[in-house]
Chain A
Amino acid sequence: MSSEANQRDLRVGVDVGGTNTDAVVIDAVGEVLAAVKVATTPEPIHGIRAALDEVLVDLDHARISKAMLGTTHSANAIIQRRDLDRVAVLRLAAPSSLGLRPGAAWPEDIHTEVVGATSIIEGGHEYNGQEIAPLDTEAVRRLAAEAIRDECCSVAVAGAFSPASSEHELRARDVLLAELGADFPVSLSHEIGSLGLLERENATILNAALLSVATSVISGFEEALAERHLEVDAYLTQNDGTLMMAAEASRYPVLTLGSGPTNSMRGACALARVNDAIVIDVGGTSADAGILVGGFPRQSSAAVEVGGVRTNFRMPDLISMGLGGGTIVRNAGAELRIGPDSVGYAVATEAICVGGEVLTLSDVSLAAGRMTGFGDPALVRGIDARLVRDAIAWVDEQISTMSDRMKSTRAPLPLLAVGGGAHLIPDVIPGVSEVIRPRHESVANAYGAGIAEASGSVDRVYSYEASSREECLDDARELAANAAVRAGADPDGVRITTVTEVPMTYVPGQGSRVIVKAAGPLA
């Protein structure tokens, strides 16, 4: 008994979504020992506390060794322009880039709130590592003084080619800290984004604006763990589905912005024990389709906008459409109109099958025999059979199109049906080998957070003339693996997950941009 109690073999995953906060406890082989769902609270920490209390009720707290949090709180702060910090922006690139000011093309409301003093000063590097100009440290000091006058509480620094040559950003930070105090928050672009100065600068400004919001959520999470006498390592999940230690995450909140869909897809696949599958998540208002390749979501190639601001993050390649359990069905004369509007989560009170007044896809699903365990079949008996047949045919066609749009080959793939509206997904879909409805899928997000691994990456330009291509790739692989180990991965379990080479057109010396990612289970 005592030896069992001493085992520290469990992890707890928590996901804070817009509607629900979920928590799961997972054992060493990935089995779900407990899973709960509570309402998300205006201050997310209250929901987190409630979920933790409920999920841990029958478990020995000493067995929990790790806690993972996935949260949409930062994303919502940007979308709703809420609680954002004012940021001073320092770009190290002059005389290049003067034709395009920082914060260009930001929506006016968020620009007014977030972007304070800005300056483009001499510094930054060329593609080959030479300085564009020596760093103008006097100009850094001037920006520091302006930041104070403009009541900025954070500084974002972005230098040309800093992902390859970070020296000027680091020196600028030292000057800023000397002027503003050692604790003043400074976000450096090379720690945040990849090549593409404007988008990386945007992401760095967003990061700097999110520091207060993130610190409050993360310290709340750590406090909640401590209050429950959980002596655990705390992590947050990132956009790519891997982990960051909590202390790091409060410095790089922008890297956790898009973790929701990633956790959901990875969680669903892990629950179903498949690595390659289409995932369709049907909620109350919309359905999102994505695809997992080798256990990770395929990433979108298009630039990702967050709250109207263009960044160069890689986010899961998703397609969404207005098809959910609460989607409103109208029978206007002979013409059937379905959505795109929805009663959303109010489906639980407003749908016909629960005694409400609004005809929704949930009612149709119940009448067609797809939905079970919710609503009263007697209440939907009056719905016209032709309408039910036509509405179901429309649903099947939409699901089939979404599934086909996600696939990159004709070979059939399994499809995972998840989310509260998954009952709408038919059992037979063209091009789909089998429709899987994983157990515990309603907490797939929290499960995805709970099973996440640590990762590291490298993104830089190599010349295949100076060293051979294989030597360069080996170097990049080693740097990425080391970064993963620094992030907490077990050195013996680290593997390279992706290697992307982007040959640089017109660049001599066979220049190539190399992006390598590594991931591994936590040590």
Chain B
Amino acid sequence: MDVLKPEDIETLCLGATLLGAGGGGDPYVAKLVVQQALETWGPVQVVDAGELPPEALVLSTAVIGAPTVILEKLPAGTEYVGSVNALASYLGKEPAAIMSIEVGGLNTLLPIATAAEMGLPIVNADGMRRAYPQIEMTVFTLAGLPATPLSIADEKGNQCVFKTTDNHVAESLARGAVIRLGLANAISCYPLTAAQLDEHGILGSLTYCNEVGSLLEAVKRGEEDAWERFLTDSGSAEFFRGKVVDLDRRTTEGFARSTAILEDLDGSDSTMRIEVQNENLIAFLDGEAVITTPNLICLLDCETFEPMTTEYLAYGNRVVVIGMPCAPEWHRPGMLELVGPRAFGYDVDHVELPGRPR
């Protein structure tokens, strides 16, 4: 994957939906935006962090706002370019490449459109390789790298830059700005040198996203042994096949929380309960936690193998639940405090997946 062209985006989009782990926003609109950007500005080069000069500046961009609003105020493109330019101008240095902070959900794709518009390469690395609801939930935080200075921009030309003492303050200031700028904005955070990204980032995340997307496409086409190959090659394990029999949605403190109850398809009494805060965070099999954040809990439609996002999950859906290992770069001191079950308020111990992480 050296270059991204419009026809490459479909596979990447499927992988991104899967890595969204039920959240991360619906990448459909982002896919169309990227395809239009690549048609307009031409293909985007994909580079590894190690290929760039060590001191080269890498800037991320992502959407920040409310999912409902983003579906109504579609991207202009200029807000993402604006967020990158605002941060570059604060730092007094031009970026050499663009990156995605979150390879999972729609933020996987939007930076590719920005890279196309700015004529820059996209780096094959990120800070999550899944989706999470908060800015500080990255492997960069584990490495002590601050999210700030960060910038917020809108499509009208409004821009602001925050430099804060810690990532929690950054999060709250960013959210405050976004509320006043229309709730569908661009954020650029974690400005890094290529050397810092190469040392602390999750490397190869775009390739990984493309690979799981491609493995899943084979499953969807009904190829022989494709499901086993998907599980083996992604290091995932199947935990349950069941039907959604209860779904309780609520919003507390701004997050979409829900609980989904699944009953076994074979008519046994076995049930699975999935706790969701934007993303699927914990899966309990007959009361016992079997998959926990930061490992990924992904639900796929039993028939079509389409990854199911939480917002479209409905009573009666028949799903297969898989546990996918999080990126190995998460396994550093501080992981559980930052993104383990207790970081989300669940009194549950983290469990490792049986498969081999990769």
Which residues 85-100 of A sit at the B interface, judged by CB distance below 8 A? 93-100
Q: Which of A461-516 contact B (CB under 8 A)?
A: 461, 502-508, 511-513
CB pair B66 A96 closer than 8 Å:
no
Closest to B73 in A: A96
Return chain A residues, CB-CB under 8 Å to B33.
Answer: 99-100
**B contact residues, range:** 35 or more
**In the bound complex, how far is the Cα of B78 from the Cα of A93, in angstroms?**
14
Whether A100 contacts B245 in the complex (CB less than 8 A), given A198-B74, A405-B318, comes out as no
Question: Which B residues between 298 and 328 are near A, CB-CB below 8 angstroms?
Answer: 312-316, 318
Query: Which among A96, A405, A461, A506 is the interface contact of B74 at CB below 8 angstroms?
Result: A96
| Cα-based distance from A98 to B117 in the complex (angstroms) | 13
Q: How far is the CA of A96 from the CA of B72 in the complex (A)?
A: 10
Question: Bound state CA distance, A505 and B312, in angstroms?
Answer: 15
B221 lies within 8 A of chain A by Cβ: no
Contact between chains at B32 and A196 (CB < 8 Å)? no
Q: Closest approach, in angstroms, between the C-beta of B107 and any C-beta of chain A?
A: 14
Min C-beta distance of A261 to chain B, whole Å: 17
Q: Is the CB of A104 within 8 A of B32?
A: yes
Hey, what's the 0/1 contact readout for B250-281 against A, CB within 8 Å counting as 1?
A: 11001110000001000000000000001000
Question: 17 other contacts beyond A93-B74, A99-B75, A161-B73, with CB at 8 A cut-off?
Answer: A97-B76, A99-B37, A99-B113, A100-B33, A100-B74, A127-B183, A195-B71, A196-B71, A197-B72, A405-B243, A408-B244, A505-B67, A505-B254, A507-B66, A507-B179, A508-B179, A512-B251
Chain B residues closer than 8 Å to A310, beta-carbon distance: 28
Interface residues of B in 134-178 (CB under 8 A from A): 155-156, 175, 178
Instruction: With A96-B73, A100-B32, A506-B65 as known contacts, state yes or no: A409 contacts B256, CB within 8 Å.
Output: no
Residues of A within 8 A of B184 (CB): 96
Q: List the A side residues contacting B155 at CB < 8 Å.
A: 95-96, 98
Inter-chain contact A93/B73, CB cutoff 8 Å: yes
Is B195's beta carbon under 8 Å from chain A? no
A99 touches B72 (CB 8 A): no
Which of A95, A302, A408 contacts B316, CB < 8 Å? A408
B256 touches A505 (CB 8 A): yes
Q: How far is the CB of A161 from chain B (nearest CB, A)?
A: 5
Kindly state the separation between the CA atoms of A506 and B314 in the bound complex, as whole angstroms. 22
Contact digits for A161-196, partner B, Cβ 8 Å, 1 yes 0 no: 100000000000000000000000000000000011
Contact between A101 and B36 (Cβ–Cβ < 8 Å)?
Answer: yes
Q: Show 17 A/B contacts (Cβ-Cβ < 8 Å), sorted by A.
A: A96-B74, A97-B73, A97-B74, A97-B75, A99-B75, A100-B32, A100-B74, A127-B72, A127-B183, A198-B29, A198-B71, A405-B318, A410-B245, A410-B263, A505-B256, A507-B66, A511-B66
Shortest C-beta distance, A192 to chain B (Å), equals: 15
Chain A residues, CB < 8 A from B263? 410
Which residue of A has the minimal Cβ distance to B178? A506
B119 on interface, CB distance cutoff 8 Å: no
**CA of A211 to CA of B113, assembled, Å:** 37
Look across to chain B and name the residue whose beta carbon is closest to the beta carbon of A127: B69
Report the bound CA distance from A409 to B36 in whole Å.
44
Query: Taking beta carbons and an 8 Å cutoff, which residues of B are in contact with A?
Result: 28-29, 32-33, 36-37, 65-69, 71-78, 113, 155-156, 175, 178-179, 182-184, 243-245, 249-251, 254-256, 263, 278, 312-316, 318
The binding surface of chain B is classed by DSSP as mixed
List the B side residues contacting A507 at CB < 8 Å.
66, 68-69, 179, 183, 254
Which B-chain residue is minimally distant from A507 (CB atoms)? Answer: B66
Which of A56-105 touch B at CB < 8 Å?
Answer: 93-101, 104-105
- Give the nearest-CB partner of A312 in chain B: B71
Q: How far is the CB of A31 from chain B (nearest CB, A)?
A: 34
CB of A286, distance to nearest CB on chain B (Å): 16
B251 touches A405 (CB 8 A): no
Contact B74 A99 (CB under 8 A): yes
A512 to B316, CA, bound (A): 25
Report A188 CB to chain B, min CB distance, Å: 16
Cβ–Cβ < 8 Å partners of B314 in chain A = 301, 317
The interface residues of chain B lying within 8 Å CB-to-CB of A99 are 33, 36-37, 74-77, 113
Which DSSP category, helix, strand, loop or mixed, fits chain A's interface? loop
Bound-state CA distance A425–B75 (Å) is 50
> Is the CB of A388 closer than 8 A to any CB of chain B?
no
Say if the beta carbon of A406 comes within 8 Å of chain B: yes
A132 on interface, CB distance cutoff 8 Å: yes
CA distance A337 to B41 in the complex (A): 51
B102 to chain A, nearest CB (A): 15
Chain A residues whose CB sits within 8 angstroms of the CB of B315 once the complex forms: 298, 408
Chain A contacts for B178, CB-based, 8 A: 506
A126 at the interface (CB under 8 A from B): yes
B76: contacting residue among A96, A298, A508, CB under 8 A:
A96
Which 9 A-B residue pairs are closest in the complex by CB-CB distance? A503-B251, A97-B74, A408-B315, A99-B77, A301-B314, A99-B75, A408-B316, A98-B76, A506-B66
In the complex, which residue of chain B has the Cβ closest to the Cβ of A199? B71
Chain B residue numbers with a CB within 8 Å of A132 are 73, 156, 182
Minimum CB distance partner of B113 in chain A? A99
- Tell me the smallest distance from the CB of A309 to a CB of chain B, in Å: 13
- Interface 0/1 of A273-312, CB less than 8 Å to B: 0000000000000000001000000100111000000100
